Amino acid sequence: MPVNTLKRFLDEQEVRYVTVRHSPAFTAQEVAASAHISGYEMAKTVMIKVNGKVAMAVLPAPLHVDLRHLRELTGAGSVELATESEFKTLFPECELGAMPPFGRLYGMETYVAQRLAEDEYIAFNAGTHTELIRMRFRDFERLAEPKVLAFSH
């Protein structure tokens, strides 16, 4: 979903957001620094597999996914990192590694770390490595319909 498609979706849902252009950055921490926002507000999307099905784990840039704990919280038989080859074709309009955290738009579950839900705002890649979107977390939650769980450390 390129940035224009994402903006159109947000506009149709009457969500207020800010688009931030930044110099090219490829990790969530680099994006946060480049855009001058807190790493704890900047969401990174980690592609995982839950019982063999590709899903998104979304968490603050400086934190890591605790796969074992996420498995316990979801009651899944297995939770593991997805390989690039397992998900790269699922986001044809996005630059690899810059997909926005709206799994339901791609037919997949989205798990969001509780720590992100504690902030009023969330920022995330908008399909490219040079643009992000910042919006209220409650609006993101309404649109993305994630499962909010405490799985990061």
What CATH fold (topology level) applies to the domain 3-149? YbaK protein (3.90.960)
**Confidence at residue 2, expressed as pLDDT on a 0 to 100 scale:** 55
Q: In 22-153, at which residue ranges do the beta strands (DSSP E only) sit?
A: 42-50, 53-60, 79-81, 110-113, 121-125, 131-136, 147-149
Per-residue pLDDT of 68-122, as tens digits, reads: 999 999 999 999 999 999 998 998 889 989 999 999 888 999 999 999 999 999 9
Residues 37-62 have pLDDT tens digits of 999 999 999 999 999 999 999 999 99
Tens digit of each residue's pLDDT (9 = 90 or more) over 13-31: 999 999 999 989 888 898 8
